Amino acid sequence: MTETPLTIREVRARALDLPLSRPVQTAAGDIATAPVVLIDVVTREGVVGHGYLRTYTPVALPGLARLVYDIGVFLAGESAAPHSVERKLQGHFRLLGLEGLTGMAMAGIDMALWDARARAAGQPLITLLGGRPGPVPAYVTLPSMDAAGAAADARQAVTAGFHALKVKVGRGDLAADLETIRAIRAAVGDEVALMVDYNQSLTVRDALERVQALDAEGLHWIEEPTRADDDAGHAKIAAAAQTAIQLGESWWGSAAMARSISAGACDHAMLDAARIGGVTGWLRATSLAVRAKVPVSSHAYPELSAHLMRVTPTAHLLEYADQLNPILRDRVRIVDGHAVFAEIPGTGVEWDEERIASLS
C-alpha cells in the first residue's frame, strides 16, 4: 500500500491535571493526580494524530504544553514523516540537549505523528509496523504500599483478570517491604507473578542488603533499587542479586539504554515511550534488546505500548494503567491476564472531548 504523504499544519497542546480515584503511593510520596499534555498533530490533508505525555507533577505541566506547542510552530509546513521530524529536531536541539522536557516534547510529537501515519493508511499502528494485532501479557501496579491495602488491591486486581502484579516499596525498612510482599502472597497465592519497585529510593549499600534478603521471596523482578543513572551501582546490585534487576523507565533514549546494558546494570529492560523517543526511539531500542537478549517490558502509555510490544521480539510484560481511561473513547481491556486493544486505525488514542471539556 502506498502511504499518503502528510504535511504538518499545526500542533495543538492541552494541559490537563486529571484527578485520580485513589492516590498512588510511592517511596517519593503520594501521587494524587495524573498531569498530562494532550497532543494533536493536525495535517494539511485533514488527518489528525493524537498522543499524550505524563509529567507526574503539575508544576511541569504548563511548561511542557507550551514547549510542545512552540515546537509545533517550528515544524509547521514540514513533512509529517516521523523519521524526518526526528532528524530535524535532533539537529535543532543538539546544543540544548535532547533529554528532560525537550526529549519528552519530541517523543510526544513522534507518537502523534505515527498515529497520524497509521490513520492515513487506515490501519492499526501494529499493522503499519508489520506486526499482527493480538493480546499482550500484562501486569498492573498496585496503588497501596502498606501491607493491608496492598493485599486488598492485589485481590481486586486478580479478580479483574491480572496474573502479574507490581507493588511499590521502599518507604520504610526491609521489614516493611517484607510485610507488604508477604501480605500480597497470602492474599493471592504464589502463582501470581509479583514484582517490587523501589523508585530509586535506596543507596547502593542499602540496596545490596535488601535485594539479597528479597531473593528468598520469589519475586519476578526488583525495579530501580537505586538512582536510575547510577549504572555502576546497579551493576553491583545486579551481580549480588539472584532476582532479576529491572531498569529502563528513566532511560533518555537508546544511548542510555546501551550504557546500562553494557555496564551489566540490569537483567530486564523497561521502555517508557515518552523517554525512549516515542515510537521511533522504541523501535531503535528493541534492536539493542535483541542483541543483548534482554526481556523488554513497557512503562505507562498502555494504548501505544500494546502495539509496540507486539513488534518487540523480546517482549515480556506490558504495564497496564487506567489513569487516562476517563478521557479516552477506546480503552485497553484486560482479558485473562492479557491486554487487548481495539483494532482501529492509529494507536487507539481517541479523545472523549465532552469529558475533557467537563474537566478543563
Burial of 211 (0-12, 13-18, 19+ CB in 10 A): buried
Average pLDDT over residues 304-321: 97
3 pLDDT band (50/70/90 cuts)?
confident
Give catalytic status of residue 168 as yes or no.
yes
Is pTM beyond 0.85? Reply is: yes
Which residue among the candidates 299, 307, 316, 338 is catalytic per the annotation? 299
Which residue among the candidates 50, 163, 166, 168 is catalytic per the annotation? 168
The pLDDT of residue 2: 59
Amino acid at 223: E
Q: What is the pLDDT of residues 169-198, one digit of tens each?
A: 999 999 999 999 999 999 999 999 999 999
Burial of 267 (0-12, 13-18, 19+ CB in 10 A): middle
Quick one: CA dihedral 82, 70, 18, 344, positive or negative?
A: negative
Nine-digit cell string for 246: 529491572
Nine-digit cell string for 103: 526529549
Average pLDDT over residues 111-123: 98
Instruction: Report how far residue 231's alpha carbon sits from residue 227's, in angstroms, rounded to the nearest whole number.
Output: 9
Give catalytic status of residue 83 as yes or no.
no
352 pLDDT band (50/70/90 cuts)?
very high
360 pLDDT band (50/70/90 cuts)?
confident
Instruction: Report how far residue 344's alpha carbon sits from residue 38's, in angstroms, rounded to the nearest whole number.
Output: 20
Every domain range in the chain assigned CATH 3.30.390.10: 8-122
Could you give phi then psi for residue 164, rounded to 5 degrees? Answer: -145, 135
Answer whether residue 215 shows pLDDT above 80. yes
Answer whether residue 252 shows pLDDT above 70. yes
Q: Under CATH, which number does the domain 8-122 receive?
A: 3.30.390.10
Nine-digit cell string for 163: 496474573
Instruction: Report how far residue 315's alpha carbon sits from residue 319's, in angstroms, rounded to the nearest whole number.
Output: 12
Mean of pLDDT over the chain = 96
CATH C-level class of 128-353: alpha beta
The pLDDT of residue 4: 80
Every domain range in the chain assigned CATH 3.20.20.120: 128-353
Instruction: Report how far residue 108's alpha carbon sits from residue 103's, in angstroms, rounded to the nearest whole number.
Output: 9
Instruction: Report how far residue 39's alpha carbon sits from residue 278's, in angstroms, rounded to the nearest whole number.
Output: 13
